[in-house]
Homo-oligomer: A and B are copies of this chain.
Amino acid sequence: MERSLVEPFYVMRVLEKAKEIEKEGKEVIHLEIGEPDLPVPKRVKEKAKEFLSRFEQKYTESAGIYPLREEIARYYCETYQVEVEPENVVITPGSSPGLLAVLKVVSERIGQISYSDPGYPCYKNMLNLLFSEGRAVPVSPESSFKVLPQQVETPALIVNSPSNPTGVVYTLEELKALSEKAFLVSDEIYHGLTYFERAPSVLEVTDRCVVVNGFSKFFLMTGWRLGWLILPDELVSDVTAILQNTVISPSTLSQYSALACFEKEVLEELRSNVEVFKERREVLLKGLKEVGFKVPSEPQGAFYVYADVSDFTEDSFSFAFELLEKVGVAVTPGRDFGYNRTNEFIRFSFCTSVENIEKALERLYSYLR
């Protein structure tokens, strides 16, 4: 058969290779995975067990259980001082199916959608899936990998702040300027994970927007598959109808368990995790520079360092495999994030212990210096 319909995640090939190497009994340090390694708060598990003991898991409303929609609305009011009604919150089985529904509705109702290159690969892939031609906006180290207002030429734009793979955080003023050029689809999945200033929500600058968010990063509920959308009134019914048809409803257990995330003590625990990631970030950044990689834009949020490896290779894809095979360090090649000079970059994630990060850095140093 001809080429694949939708581009796979190239990092999966790295993962496969890593597994082979591990099968041979060799240790691989995983700096490729964008999945927090910390355990989910105990209260979330307790709530899950309680629900399992007392109730059956039936379908819920497609938009999700009302108490969770209320908690999320309240969380936005408290975190961003913006008013959100529970009716504008729609719960999704992970942020991905929500994003797919939103991209469909926005491209039909509002128009063509731009996204940054490099950027999260699913934006392009989902638009392809929907036969909706998006437009890639090349972003460069010179603008800290941010989309500039003058680059926006379509009615809609995906903003991802803190961003994958660069960890860049847009300021309130930058979001405001972008919102004046386009309807914003704001992927805020890394919110809560910032190391200096908090990341503003697009809701603070405009109502002409959709927020995509979920429980898999700051809230650590990865495999529970739960996310949410915040939608303007006029898009709620279209998006909900698509979710009804494509997923029916999110996991009932995950929804009830997630209620625990908004308890005061749990939120405090989650917020204290940021320090853990911050320490890792510092160790990784320092070490990568010592190895000789350049980091033109240091991450302000999320848990990735997007490093320029052009002093070592012209092809970061094969370089990723070289590092894996020679020193057992798994990383994500830039190619996963688009076409714009992505052959010069590699993404390192810091979802593993400082000890592991240091070990990886030592191996890289010995091999490359």
A interface vs B, CB < 8 Å?
Answer: 1, 4-9, 12, 35, 39-40, 45, 48-49, 52-53, 56-60, 93-94, 96-97, 100, 104-105, 108-109, 121-122, 125-126, 129-131, 221-225, 234, 237-238, 240-242, 244-254
Contact = CB atoms under 8 A, between A and B. Distances in A.
Contacts of A238: 1, 4-6
Nearest to A237: B4
A120 to B, nearest CB: 10
A100 B243 CA distance: 11
A237 B94 CA distance: 22
Given A6-B238, A104-B5, A122 B245 contact: yes
Contact of A59 (B56, B105, B122, B223): B223
A234 to B, nearest CB: 6
Contacts of A244: 8-9, 12
Contacts of A53: 45, 49
Q: Chain A contact residues: over half helix, strand or loop, or mixed? A: helix
B130 A131 contact: yes
Given A6-B242, A49-B49, 10 more contacts: A5-B105, A5-B242, A57-B223, A59-B223, A93-B247, A97-B247, A129-B130, A130-B131, A131-B131, A223-B253
Contacts of A246: 96-97, 100, 122, 126, 129
A237 B224 CA distance: 24
Most-contacted residue by chain B among A39, A40, A130, A242 (CB, 10 A): A242
Nearest to A45: B52
Which 7 A-B pairs give the minimum distances between C-beta atoms? A57-B223, A223-B252, A8-B241, A125-B245, A131-B131, A6-B241, A225-B251
20 contacts: A4-B238, A4-B241, A8-B241, A48-B52, A52-B52, A93-B247, A96-B248, A97-B246, A97-B247, A125-B245, A126-B246, A129-B242, A129-B245, A129-B246, A130-B131, A223-B252, A225-B247, A225-B251, A251-B254, A253-B253
Contact of A237 (B8, B45, B252, B253): B8
A167 B8 CA distance: 38
B234 A249 contact: no
Contacts of A245: 6, 9, 96, 121-122, 125-126, 129
B35 A247 contact: no
A223 B251 contact: yes
Contacts of A248: 94, 96, 225
A232 to B, nearest CB: 11
Contacts of A45: 52-53
A241 B122 CA distance: 11
Contacts of A93: 93-94, 225, 247, 251
A129 B1 CA distance: 25
Contact of A225 (B4, B8, B237, B250): B250
A66 to B, nearest CB: 12
A353 B210 CA distance: 43
A252 B224 contact: yes
A335 B328 CA distance: 59
A110 B130 CA distance: 18
